[in-house]
Amino acid sequence: MTQSPYPVIRMRPKAQARAIRHGYPWVYDNELVTDRRTKKMEPGTIAVLEDGERQPLGLVAVNPASRIMARMLERDTAAQIDQSWLAARLTRALSLRERLYDQPYYRLIHAEADGLPGVVIDRFGDVAVIQPNAAWAEVFLSQLTAALVEVTGVSHVLKSASGRARVLEGLDDVNAVLVGKAPEAALPVPMNGATYMADLLGGQKTGLFYDQRPNHAFAARLCKNARVLDVFSHVGGFSLAALAAGADSALAIDGSAPALDLAQEGAARMGMQDRFETRKGDAFDVLTALAEEGAQFDVVICDPPAFAPSKKALEAGLRAYERVARLAAPLVAEGGYLGLCSCSHAVDLTRFRSACTRGIGRAGREGQLIHTGSAGPDHPLHPQLAESGYLKALFYRL
């Protein structure tokens, strides 16, 4: 057997190597033998992972500064992690997206589920945005960028350094242009018949959320000739899809004026600005005010930020989801529809559904649960990593 050029790290004798053999992608610091040599490894070092009996498990990316100290990259310990290896992973990911979508607007790499742990790449036509959220991806960023251009042919590659994950990995928060140039204005993105404006530099995350695409599409089916309320709308996610599907009117609520400006621009590009309104403010306050005004809508959809970004925030997050449902339900006309979403990976579907249903009941309403949605297939789920199944969408008829 060929000797690996990489250093070796080893799991503790009592650590559960079986989970790694069965596909679990993370090894925590308390599962590893952490001697002085291991602790001195540079963040992003590639190493061979062995079990307690010194049997090789695969190649991992090591970061002694992170609680997730090793991330599984490759089962074959004879493999070489380089640009051609990265290109092979990108090619495999691209083949799925090209089968799913007829235009190059999608999430190309969804971290562990696409075999590149901690890496997110969103594509906007000729522009790609990379979020290297793990130390190894930062170390290999130039090779990753070169492989991305080689495989996809994009002309412009940006680095987005926002996000809580980079802080946990001990990484900086400096955005950069890696190839080509940054767009001078927001880019139009076609999706579900609507046009969304993506601010790739100043917007949230990579500039647009592709994960809700199938839920936008489902909601749009309910919206023909409807009055629609889109709460926590960002750049008009549900409301613009509703207008494209024939809604009579749509009102978008968000706390960010720049996001609402982009939503307005999207509606204008669709020629539907006369049926579209925005209202800036705290969503809870606006929901309360709308109820006091006696407002009624045929479809109300609430897509808040992660109220429970960690297990510590779970109970507070569940209370917030219940409150959203309680405040939104009275605004739904009899026989209308309420959509409620969560992007908190710490909240599982069962607990989210319970919180939403409880909130609807406390508002004095009853509902049929007609649809349960998740992220689109360009956000594949890693079967052994519950965190990758973060998005949940529930649609009720009240």
Strand order in 127-132's β-sheet? 105-110, 119-124, 127-132, 156-159, 176-179
Say if residue 228 is in the same domain as residue 356: yes
pLDDT of residue 93: 98
69, part of any domain? yes
Quote the tokens at residue 298: 């045929």
Q: How far apart are CA 11 and CA 48, in angstroms?
A: 11
In a domain, 2, yes or no: no
CATH number at residue 219: 3.40.50.150
Q: Which residue did the predictor score with more confidence, 229 or 311?
A: 229
- Within this chain, do residues 275 and 301 fall inside the same structural domain, yes or no? yes
Residues 243 and 304 in one domain: yes
Is there a contact between 50 and 10 (Cβ–Cβ < 8 Å)?
yes
pLDDT value, residue 25: 96
CA–chain centroid gap for 236, Å, is 17
What CA–CA distance (Å, rounded) separates 266 from 250?
Answer: 13
Same domain, residue pair 247 and 350: yes
Residue 249 bridge partners (DSSP): 227
Residues 173 and 218 in one domain: no
User: Which pLDDT does position 14 carry in this prediction?
Assistant: 82
| 362 and 283 within one domain | yes
Shared domain check, 339 and 200: yes
Domain boundary among 151, 179, 207: 179
pLDDT at 181 over 90: yes
What's residue 4's pLDDT? 75
For residues 257 and 356, state if they share a domain: yes
Distance CA 342, CA 282 (A): 17
Q: Does residue 312 sit within a domain? A: yes
> For residue 57, what is the domain's CATH number?
2.30.130.10
**Domain around 68:** 8-74
DSSP 309-353: SSGGGHHHHHHHHHHHHHHHGGGEEEEEEEEEEE--TTS-HHHHH
User: Is 343 noted as a catalytic residue in this protein?
Assistant: yes
Q: What's the pLDDT at 114?
A: 97
Residue 3 domain flag: no
Q: Which of 118-127, 222-231, 377-386 is predicted least confidently?
A: 377-386
How buried is residue 298: exposed, middle or buried, by Cβ count under 10 Å (0-12/13-18/19+)?
A: buried
The DSSP symbol for 364 reads T
For residue 77, is pLDDT > 90? Answer: yes
Given a cut of 90, whether residue 224 has pLDDT beyond it is yes
Which alpha helices (H) appear in the chain, and where do they start and end? 17-21, 36-39, 83-100, 135-139, 141-152, 164-168, 213-221, 237-244, 257-269, 283-292, 314-328, 349-362
Give a yes or no: residue 1 inside a domain. Answer: no
Residue 272 has which token pair? 């539907």
127 plus 60 within the same structural domain: no
Question: Does a structural domain hold residue 48?
Answer: yes
Q: Which of 223, 302, 343, 356 is catalytic?
A: 343
* pLDDT for the residue 387: 75
Q: Please report which confidence band the pLDDT of residue 268 belongs to, taking 50, 70 and 90 as the band edges.
A: very high
**Top-confidence residue, 242 or 168:** 242
Entry pTM:
0.94
Instruction: Give CA–CA dist 349/358, Å, rounded.
Output: 14
Q: Where are the alpha helices (DSSP H) in 31-125?
A: 36-39, 83-100
pLDDT value for 182? 94
Q: How confident is the model at residue 157 (pLDDT cuts 50, 70, 90)?
A: very high
Is pLDDT at 3 greater than 70 in this prediction?
no
Q: What percent of the chain has pLDDT over 90?
A: 90
State residue 2's pLDDT score: 57
pLDDT of residue 205: 67
For residue 300, the model assigns a pLDDT of 98
Same domain as 393, residue 342: yes
With cut-offs at 50, 70 and 90, classify the pLDDT of residue 309.
confident
Boundary-marking domain end, from 24, 44, 74: 74
Residues 168, 194 within the same domain: no
> Model confidence at 162, in pLDDT bands (50, 70, 90)?
confident
**How confident is the model over 110-149, as pLDDT tens digits?**
999 999 999 999 999 999 999 999 999 999 999 999 999 9
pLDDT of 288 higher than 80: yes
Average pLDDT, the chain: 95
Q: Are 114 and 382 in contact (CB under 8 A)?
A: no
What domain count does the chain have?
A: 3
Rounded to an integer, what distance in angstroms lies between the CA atom of residue 135 and that of residue 118?
8
In a domain, 17, yes or no: yes
Residue 157 dihedral angles phi and psi, to the nearest 5°: -130, 125
- What CATH number is associated with residue 141? 3.30.750.80
96 by Cβ neighbours in 10 Å (0-12 / 13-18 / 19+) ranks as middle
195 and 312 housed in the same domain = yes
Contacts of 3 (CB under 8 A, 6+ apart): none
pLDDT at 362 over 60: yes
- Span 6-28, average pLDDT: 92
Structure tokens at 161: 């350094």
- Of 161, 179, 197, the one marking the end of a domain is 179
Q: Distance between CA atoms of 227 and 290, rounded to whole angstroms?
A: 14
